[in-house]
Amino acid sequence: EMLEKGGFDHFMLKEIYEQPRSIKDCMRGRIYPAEGKVQLGGIKEFAEKLKNIDRIIIVACGTSWHAGLVGEYLIEEYARIPVEVEYASEFRYRNPIITEKDVVIAISQSGETADTMAAIEMAKERGATIFGICNVAGASIPRLTHAGVYTHAGPEIGVASTKAFTAQVTVLTLMAFYMAQQKGTITTSKLIELLTELDNIPEKIQIALESNDIIKEVAEKIKDATNCLFLGRGSGFPVALEGALKLKEISYIHAEGYPAAEMKHGPIALIDEEMPVVFIATQNSSYEKVISNIQEVKARKGKVIAIVTQGDTEVKKMADYCIEIPDANEAFLPLLATIPLQLLAYHIAVMRGCNVDQPRNLAKSVTVE
Ligand code: AGP
């Protein structure tokens, strides 16, 4: 087993460190930065249909659902197609409106999640076209869908999903650009610019991983917390949700992800000197707003841990701890900002003596409804 872990103490840590590689594998043969072109062989036969779809419904569970929320942001931004993101388990027990014109994207690392499979079956019966985003070749979900794109992240052993999540987000980014290309909502020069930067994201993830020692220090400071809040805006919100899920899954600390602006509508009541609040405070369109949210937390003596862009000076004046990630176009920030949150959850769980790779009560794939 030591060999399989490649010298790392846990599979989860190994998988976190594999991300520069797994994202590269995920993009291989699919992006052509010099030409400003995305090719997704798996959904090619639906290229024409994509020009005229009215709506996309994304169905998934857990971490895959968080990836779906990032996808919503990207598809709406670039392809200008309305997207709904549904918990597969809720979707299937409603009587949702689905038509033949809809495309349903089912996201699943394992490809065996019972709720996601049931949602696919229902959408299929109602005539929708189903795309899958899956990590396990030949699993049940890829067999149920009409077409799909594999994430190619390699086997994920840790129960808490890490590299599969960033690969799902990468595929959704590629899908957003592909759909934009098909619909003509993006120019070739813009695509050249975005794909050139995307091509460089694995290197930037490598740099984000280098904050490991600082993250360990932060983990030491907050490891005894009983609650923790994760806040972000825009595509930083699903990142906050994912950071909170990672922490609760493996450290058993109660954590909640919230849109930063919603804090004042309730969760602000929880803040006192015992409460660590993790902010996604990178320099993007909501930066100024997040700064005022940080001030609100500091005014109530909360402990602020901020994920910031390298070279940030504003947040550093206010936050108790800052963790830097490289700057990037807003479209790619979820990929980078997730890395320190995975490491933070990992170190806290190890310090608390938890079984990181096999947390209590959880299974790698949830095959019951
Ligand atoms: C992630 O850390 C979880 N263990 C869990 O939420 C998982 O993402 C969910 O069960 C969905 O699994 P799937 O991607 O294999 O369908």
Q: Whose CA is nearest to atom 6 of ligand 1?
A: 62
Could you tell which of 16, 64, 248 is best to mutate to test the pocket of ligand 1, judged by most ligand atoms within 8 Å of the CB? 64
The pick from 12, 58, 61 for probing ligand 1's pocket by mutation, whose C-beta has the most ligand atoms within 8 angstroms, reads 61
Residues in the chain with pLDDT values less than 50: none
Of ligand 1's listed atoms, the one at least distance from the Cα of 366 is: 10
**Ligand 1 mean position to 365 CA, how many Å?**
7
* ipTM, interface predicted TM-score of the complex: 0.98
- In angstroms, the Cα distances linking 163 to 75, 145, 311, 339 are 21, 23, 27, 9
Ligand 1 atom with the shortest distance to the CA of 362: 4
- What residue's CA is closest to ligand 1, atom 5? 62
Residue 93 has what pLDDT?
A: 87
Atom of ligand 1 nearest to the CA of 245: 2
How does pLDDT run across 259-302, given as a tens digit for each residue? 999 999 998 899 999 999 999 999 888 888 999 999 999 999 99
Expressed in angstroms and rounded, the spacing between residue 310 Cα and the centre of ligand 1 is 31
How many angstroms does the Cα of residue 218 sit away from the middle of ligand 1? 27
Taking the centre of ligand 1 as the mean of its atom positions, its distance from the CA of residue 284, in whole angstroms, is 29
pLDDT score for 247: 98
> Is the C-beta atom of 64 inside 6 A of ligand 1?
yes
Tracing tokens 């594998």 back to the chain, one arrives at: 25
Atom of ligand 1 nearest to the CA of 249: 2
Kindly report the protein residue whose alpha carbon is nearest to atom 16 of ligand 1.
108
Q: How many Å lie between the centroid of ligand 1 and the Cα of residue 271? A: 30
Instruction: Give catalytic residue positions.
Output: 364
Q: Look at residue 3 in the predicted model and tell me its pLDDT.
A: 79
Q: Is 134 in the pocket of ligand 1 (CB under 6 A)?
A: no
159 lines ligand 1 (CB under 6 A): yes
Residue 111 Cα to chain centre, angstroms = 17
Residue from 70, 109, 116, 362 to probe ligand 1 pocket by mutation (most atoms less than 8 Å from CB): 109
Q: Determine the distance separating the centroid of ligand 1 and the alpha carbon of 175, expressed in angstroms.
A: 21
Q: What's the confidence (pLDDT) of residue 284?
A: 84
